Amino acid sequence: MHELSLAAEVIKLVEKEAGLNHASAISEITIEVGNISGIEAEPFESALRILTEGTMLEKSSLNIVKIKARGNCLNCKSDFEMNFRMDTCPQCGAFPSEITGGNEFRVVSMLIED
């Protein structure tokens, strides 16, 4: 379950940034998780909630934003939503020439208290 180690790294990253800004607590954090990033949002969120006990994030509001993958088809010039990495164009059946979203895994923002 790599979500546990990812949650630990997010906590470390956010606490370091909060420390650089002389924060006493973190009240809110927003994280984007793409649906084809290889990270399961629910287990990641559960791991994060467990690991935040006793940290600056313990009482923070956690916002997990799920990002749907998008593909571009050069064959028919279609832009379409993808549920899986191997989804094909709904218009012509070709594989996307470019995947433009859904790989995200990033801390987007955090709200700190002085």
CATH number of the structural domain spanning residue 106 = 3.30.2320.50
Report if residue 86 sits inside a domain: no
Report if residue 24 sits inside a domain: yes
User: Residue 1: is its pLDDT beyond 60?
Assistant: no
The residue assigned the tokens 């998780």 is: 33
- Residue 107: other Cβ atoms inside 10 A: 13
Question: How does pLDDT run across 8-58, given as a tens digit for each residue?
Answer: 999 999 999 999 999 999 999 999 999 999 999 999 999 999 999 999 899
Report if residue 77 sits inside a domain: no
Report if residue 83 sits inside a domain: no
Report if residue 76 sits inside a domain: no
Report if residue 52 sits inside a domain: yes
Report if residue 63 sits inside a domain: yes
Number of domains observed in the structure of the chain: 1
Q: How far is residue 38 CA from its own chain's centroid?
A: 10
Report if residue 92 sits inside a domain: no
- The arithmetic mean of pLDDT across residues 88-108, rounded, is 95
In the structure, what pLDDT confidence band is assigned to residue 114 with cuts at 50, 70 and 90?
Answer: confident
Predicted pLDDT of residue 69: 96
* Residue 24, domain extent: 2-68+102-113
Provide the CB-side half-sphere exposure for 84 (13 A, CA).
Answer: 5
